[in-house]
Chains A and B, each alone.
Chain A
């Protein structure tokens, strides 16, 4: 009996301790579940925060915020950086729950329009005059929704460029194509030599967009997609879209992408590798792959084998100087931030964002800044020839079309990627594509 009672007492003590222990374990979980986490680790109110992406212009942001924090220790920014996909999922949840950092990093387009519609971001019109005067105008306009400025550029324009393997072009004895006929001719020549004409990372899906974006723009001009982005009924039925899709299938049939592009992935630069291992002759990709060539294949790159040119003129009504890609990344200010936080963010944007120092840092990191008057800086850079080319391409472009998956609403963008994959795999006809995409217009 005695033993039994003793056991009970100690069992109860243990039990009570366990309850306390588990309560202690659960409590922070419950609290953090309710709180949704503090933005950017900014615990006390009045501390502004900013999230941005790892890689690319990360060191430029690091340096820029460090400079601000040194000058304003009382209003220092708490910063945090994330990988691309992780960031995109996290930021939407944070904005949706009113827990976003003060500065919201975006690609503008459909996402920014959603933020604006929900009143999540601040109207910046007239609040950052100094920044407005130094940013490239064509890039700045991407941050506007219905003529109101809600986002400002913070790094480099990323146009899509046609990269060429000059070694292979020399071997086969052809020139980079400038028209549609030349393109088909070049494809045929490389095909015959057992070289993949165009390296294409179709498994990653988004590289497919560059083809339809350029073809549509060259054939019908930017108005075609403007109508789509404005959700005009049956906007996808524009003949320019159908013609672009037919041209894509013409390329596929001609073997322009080889026969196993469906397994090529862009994340690990497999499409870049096809070019610098001399398996493929050309690559239509964003300007951001240029440094990848230099780091992945320094010998090949050092021999001057990498060429670059504009997307061919396919003989439509679009200006062949138009470009597609990402005009830049952008900062918006969260409307859920306190007044002091918003004020700090506005001052940061006007004085520090894309200022002289940040512009120089961008160039030093091999990127073209989204600012005016950077010619001299670019001329002194290591890769000045390429950087100047890309810079002029952006400055001279009558239209810079934002990547369609960013410009459209998220659900439309996903359907577009799926349908486009069908076009490249020849499992979807242009008509089916047009019908499916028209159905996404609300």
Chain B
């Protein structure tokens, strides 16, 4: 900025009339947020209010909505399909977290090492992140096809299961595929987190005679505490919005075996054309997502964000 002032002296400088100018000179004006706020308001807040209003109406997409009071809300909390969807979403959140978190941490720690071969592995582990959810869904659907999929290609009859059609099995298949597709992203976070840890701490641990496991639990894990919080928040809040993979692979079936809450919202709204209950479910998802991320932040003390480097 200073260089431009010498090259553009055409207009005489105006006298400062207020403190505003100096503040802008110190840093970006708050007004620079305006476009972002406008977009956020227009595409997030306004629709959200619209959905909240819709949740109080009867509407099938045709004609005009009629006021329904809290009827949709009582429907949502008594409808066995939606209650089952809530339960499935909870189970999905817990299971995918339990699978993803340890695998991501271990992979991230492993990839943060300095040997060359690890770079090759890192690239391999990173691959799933390059595909869109729809592509992953379609690919897995083809691989798991009992008649023309993997079992047929490798002549492996033990692979010939009704993976996506068996109501007992399909949920776990989805947990696996979802974890497979998201682990690379979280490993990447952990890799970055681990690389931030000063080498001196590991040297000190070595001098104290700590083994690999001890070093991991006493140095690495406490040092990546905030990475764990970030990654966990993303995993848990993200699991409330799993939709694309499940939609592509099972569309909620067989029966309601994989009809998780976001899918229940979509199917209620755009297949059954019951916009009222679908809007109520959408509001529930927003509220739960907000609460979970706030709780995680509060619980972990991440809002303080103090340095982890000192006093090691």
Contact = CB atoms under 8 A, between A and B. Distances in A.
Name the residue in A4, A11, A263 with the highest tally of chain B Cβ atoms < 10 Å from its Cβ. A263
A410 B164 contact: no
Given A4-B25, A414-B267, A96 B61 contact: yes
A2 B274 contact: no
Contact of B25 (A7, A89, A414): A7
Interface in B117-172: 141, 144-148, 160-167
Contacts of B200: none
A274 B62 contact: no
B204 interface: no
B290 interface: no
B45 to A, nearest CB: 14
A59 B39 CA distance: 42
Nearest to A8: B21
Nearest to A261: B165
B8 A427 contact: no
B255 A428 contact: yes
Contacts of B254: 202-203, 262, 421-422, 425, 427
Interface stretch (B26-34, B220-228, B233-241, B301-309): B26-34
Interface string B60-75: 1111000000000000
B164 A411 contact: no
Nearest to B35: A22
Given A3-B2, A11-B29, A425-B254, A260 B167 contact: no
A260 B34 CA distance: 56
A15 B13 contact: no
B42 A5 contact: no
A96 B62 contact: yes
Contacts of B212: none
Given A92-B61, A96-B63, A422-B255, A263 B25 contact: no
Contact of B60 (A3, A7, A259, A410): A410
B39 A26 contact: yes
Interface in A107-131: 114-115, 118, 120
Contact of B62 (A4, A92, A411): A92
Contacts of A411: 272-274
Main secondary structure of the interface of B (DSSP, over half): loop
A425 B272 contact: no
B78 interface: no
A295 to B, nearest CB: 17
B255 A2 contact: no
Contacts of A218: none
B22 A4 contact: yes
B62 A115 contact: yes
Contact of B5 (A6, A18, A261, A414): A6
Given A22-B38, A421-B253, A262 B164 contact: yes
B176 to A, nearest CB: 15
Interface string A416-429: 00100110010110
A171 interface: no
B163 A263 contact: yes
Nearest to A414: B272
B256 interface: yes
A95 B253 contact: no
A90 B119 CA distance: 47
A10 interface: yes
B254 to A, nearest CB: 5
Contact of B144 (A120, A263, A418): A263
A202 B165 contact: yes
A418 B38 CA distance: 42
Given A2-B5, A26-B42, A93 B163 contact: no
B116 interface: no
Contacts of A294: none
B236 to A, nearest CB: 28
Nearest to A199: B147
B31 A30 contact: no
B1 A7 contact: yes
Name the residue in B2, B5, B11, B254 with the highest tally of chain A Cβ atoms < 10 Å from its Cβ. B254
A120 B61 CA distance: 12
B87 interface: no
A264 interface: yes
A10 B4 contact: yes
A273 interface: yes
B1 A3 contact: yes
Name the residue in A203, A274, A418, A422 with the highest tally of chain B Cβ atoms < 10 Å from its Cβ. A203
Contact of B255 (A93, A264, A421): A421
A326 B141 CA distance: 29
Nearest to A428: B255
Interface of A: 1-12, 15, 18-19, 22, 26, 29-30, 89, 92-93, 95-96, 114-115, 118, 120, 202-203, 205, 259-265, 270, 273-274, 279, 410-411, 413-415, 418, 421-422, 425, 427-428
Q: Which 7 A-B pairs have the closest CB atoms?
A: A262-B165, A260-B146, A6-B5, A411-B272, A22-B35, A260-B162, A263-B165
Given A6-B1, A273-B148, 18 more contacts: A1-B13, A4-B21, A4-B25, A5-B14, A5-B16, A15-B31, A22-B34, A114-B60, A203-B164, A203-B250, A203-B253, A205-B251, A260-B165, A262-B164, A263-B162, A263-B165, A418-B255, A425-B254
Interface of B: 1-2, 4-5, 8, 11, 13-14, 16, 21-22, 24-25, 29, 31-32, 34-35, 38-39, 42, 60-63, 81, 141, 144-148, 160-167, 250-251, 253-256, 267, 270-274
21 contacts: A2-B13, A3-B1, A7-B5, A9-B13, A10-B1, A11-B1, A22-B34, A26-B38, A26-B42, A92-B273, A96-B63, A202-B254, A205-B253, A261-B162, A410-B272, A410-B273, A411-B272, A414-B267, A425-B167, A427-B255, A428-B255
